[in-house]
Structure 1
């Protein structure tokens, strides 16, 4: 087992050294056949698989020997406890010898595992780099495909619009063919250089591009205009009747109450009445001490008055005698 694991470990180190351009003299001498046939990460993975199988076989053999020794010693113990049988010296000597050999074999296997661990880690790092590279390739491919899909959708929409334009042009060519616009110098002279936001020819061109001709304006849907006006009315109503909870709570706390429980839409009204609310005086430690002293004085006064009355009642019979 020792020779197998050491040999495979030398093979792994030789392959990795050959890939890094740093040949290992000892490994190349002992494993010339392996290094000559090595071909990149595939050879490293092949050597690692061979090492893994050898290590599995070796550890399985050690485990079987340990179990056999444990069964032997346990059987000797049961015989001594149940039947009082005394084992022979040869059996005990065999158990002791096997125990020493297994201790040495386990220690040797642990040291060999530590020796081949760096070679395995190097192979794992190569595999991880390959996995990361492949993952990045997949991500780039997915990104490219998503972009291509979006472009295809845009092209499909544009093609659909062009087909609609062609269909409209077949029935009404004047609706899609733009009419040439004439530049009116009188209209352009209205906007002077001193006007706010005027930037010369760029502003004029922007205004011209924003102007709709008569046919485009006629094509605007009346239903959309009604919906826009309805939405504007709703927003105006919300602004007028919006409830400000914070202001309402402040007025309630300050004692300002309106005719309705809802806060007024705009400021205070004549229906509001000012009812100042007094805060309960909780005092502090001094106030508590004063209250306690007052209660004590009241109790002492009541006890003193009761004692006087009892004493007066007791004095009346003695005076009568």
Structure 2
């Protein structure tokens, strides 16, 4: 590998002969800066009544022309300008609002902050692209060495990097009969198996925090592929810009220093790039706006007393208004004719475009791109969930293996059933993920043919998923081997237990063991670590809750199956109850109405009968 400081003369000569668009970019940005300054000066003169609206628009048109040339220069250098194309339109809208008012210093003070913010965003974006172009043209960036030294793996004892899985409760200690040939062979085969978590190939991904200014983003990167150019590419991908120097924060001393060796990077490290805000362009813009504000203040002080126009001037203004109305009417007529001609021309162009589109390549619609992105997110989330589930199952089986090989404890039936069920679930999810990848693979290949810009990223993503599936399949096979060994041992112990053979053997006391005195001596020498005790209590509580959740009786299992399989009689639910209540309410209202009418008729009949008697 070549060193980053040695460059052959041939390569230097080739780099000197390469044409660079940096000169065009610098000249276009300089012209744009001068035009911006001229526009602000013209606005100040307009507020004082020295120039009219047309001159302000002329300066804006010149600024728009220079911006177009700068955009073309940056795009020819493969630097996109899509996020800045709306700024000239925003500036024109602000100018229209300002010029529609009466020319005065108060109007300029009201609209100047908005105009200043737009111009600052415009020039800030140009400055960022200039810095990117300079970094791209630097020979050190072209011939930077690739650091291939992998980062050392984190220690598995760190609680911050790898939180421990809560241990499952073990059954009461029972000694194995190592004289039995089948038990001895099964235990020896289990000892030869490696720890699943130690040889798993899906645990070499670490999390990092990228910081630029006030923005912080979290990324997951491959620990074996950490090098400086990859980190700079991450900053470019996440923030749209990068720098020559990357800083790292030491978690112990809380000191930030320049990153020179990637082996200093640990999981959850904070990497940052300093943003230089005190550039020459910012200083020029600040001085420019200070001058403009000073001119506005001077204009306000000099124009404190309003000038009262004379009668002759008012008459001239009225004549000018009448002539402007006549000109406006003629311009309106010309505009109507121009509008009709333009509509006819646009219609013809659309027809020609439709005819030509039949012979051109059809570009993929945005909906297909959105479906592809959604399927990629679903696939990535599914792969992450399978990975986490498999890691949890690996740790559980490693714990059972340790109990069997070292403590001679017989694994409980519930533990093995749980592991077997989890293994089958992982296998089903892996098959679903394989089918999903197979189904989306042809669609993604068509997308790569149309969108050449995204082909590298999508292919890399698909390769990672396929590699992850291979790693998961290997880990699952290893897990199946260990689980089968544990099942064999459990079956052997179950047969021994049914045959009535006692497996409980009291081990002889060690040499020098004095009973309770030795135990108390060991207790007195123990160094109490309260944090470890609290952590152990929390893990025991989690294990207890997990065991209780798995411990269900036959009635609860039957009831769960009865509800899950929907064997309950479908009676209509809440909707049927509401419908019956509404029908009862209607019947009750009808009955009340009939009773009230009957009572009213009875009262009327009694009143008619009593009237002749009274007469």
State TM-score, norm by structure 1: 0.32
Greater per-residue helix proportion:
1
State TM-score, norm by structure 2: 0.19
Say which one has the larger Rg.
Answer: 1
